[in-house]
Amino acid sequence: MSGPARLSLSATDPYIRGPIGCSMLSSLGTSAGTRSTRPVRSLRTAPTVDAEHDLITVQALRADQLIQLQSKRSRVIKRSGDIIFSLAVLGLGSPVFLALALLVKLTSRGPVFYVQQRVGRDYHSFGCIKFRTMRRDADRILSRILSESPDLQEEFRNDFKLKNDPRITRLGKFLRRSSLDELPQFVNVLRGDMSVVGPRPIVRQELPRYGNRMEEVLAVRPGLTGLWQVSGRNNLSYEQRVALDLHYTSKRTFVLDLSIIVRTLRVIFDPRDRGAY
């Protein structure tokens, strides 16, 4: 986590456009634009070719540059799959969606949905939509809860959430454990903010926790589900969460995405303690 960012890109990787030449890598420094929301960092591109393993090693490329190296065909296929899958879920699951929305409205005061700003691909901020699982004044009373307990302060500082959060409603506990609170994020997928499968959608305060590897993660759309969600979620340390995100961004394939979707369905239909809270 503390070393320089290194990403090995294979010329045969289905998500990398190939062959990749040093001239292409050097041209990225001038062809890619910058955004005001991006953390300021110097560009240090030092590509080297390993003839034996046919690998290109790229050091410290920005997220937008890494996106340019991805296969356009694979991105189109993944995006098309996201749209088709999301339309199918929202269409076939509309009775469940409406029933949950009604339950949220009837069981606690406040809006049906909760929208939180997250960081998407290439540092674009977007409103991540969920069914509301907390009291409507949850954000206002968080500071009071943390000020009354140093232990809760430490937990929130480490994980950006609380395991036994008193702000969560009774229905909210079920929605979180079953991950049904995240169903509205299929709307984010249709908008292009997210993908069905990808790394965790993080808040801006989490960016420093990824160190020099954040560009690799933000070169991919965050996912409604992913390796973290099916591998223990909040039962994992933060370092393990980051490692899973990095593993997905470097190893993502159609087969891996399909496997994660199947494992996600098991979590939804068998909501035992899998770290969701």
Tens-digit pLDDT string for the chain (277 aa): 444 444 444 443 445 554 444 444 444 544 444 444 555 444 444 444 443 343 344 446 888 888 888 889 999 999 999 999 999 999 999 999 999 999 999 999 999 999 999 999 999 999 999 999 988 888 778 878 777 777 777 777 777 777 778 788 999 989 988 889 999 999 999 999 999 999 999 999 889 888 888 999 999 999 999 998 888 777 788 888 889 999 999 889 999 999 999 998 887 777 665 555 4
CA–CA–CA angle 255, 260, 263 (5° rounding): 125
Report d(CA 146, CA 54) in Å as an integer: 52
Q: Is residue 231 part of a domain?
A: yes
Q: Is residue 32 part of a domain?
A: no
Q: What is the pTM of this model?
A: 0.75
- What are the DSSP E strand ranges found in 11-77? 48-50, 55-59
Q: Are strands 6-10 and 55-59 parallel, antiparallel or unpaired?
A: antiparallel
Q: Is residue 154 part of a domain?
A: no
Q: Is residue 13 part of a domain?
A: no
* Cβ contacts of 114 within 8 Å, gap of 6 or more: 129, 130, 131, 132, 133, 134
Report d(CA 20, CA 52) in Å as an integer: 15
Confirm if 113 and 130 have CB atoms less than 8 A apart: yes
**What's the domain count of the chain?**
1
Domain range spanning residue 226? 71-133+168-269
Q: Is residue 88 part of a domain?
A: yes
Q: Is residue 264 part of a domain?
A: yes
Q: Is residue 5 part of a domain?
A: no
Q: Is residue 162 part of a domain?
A: no
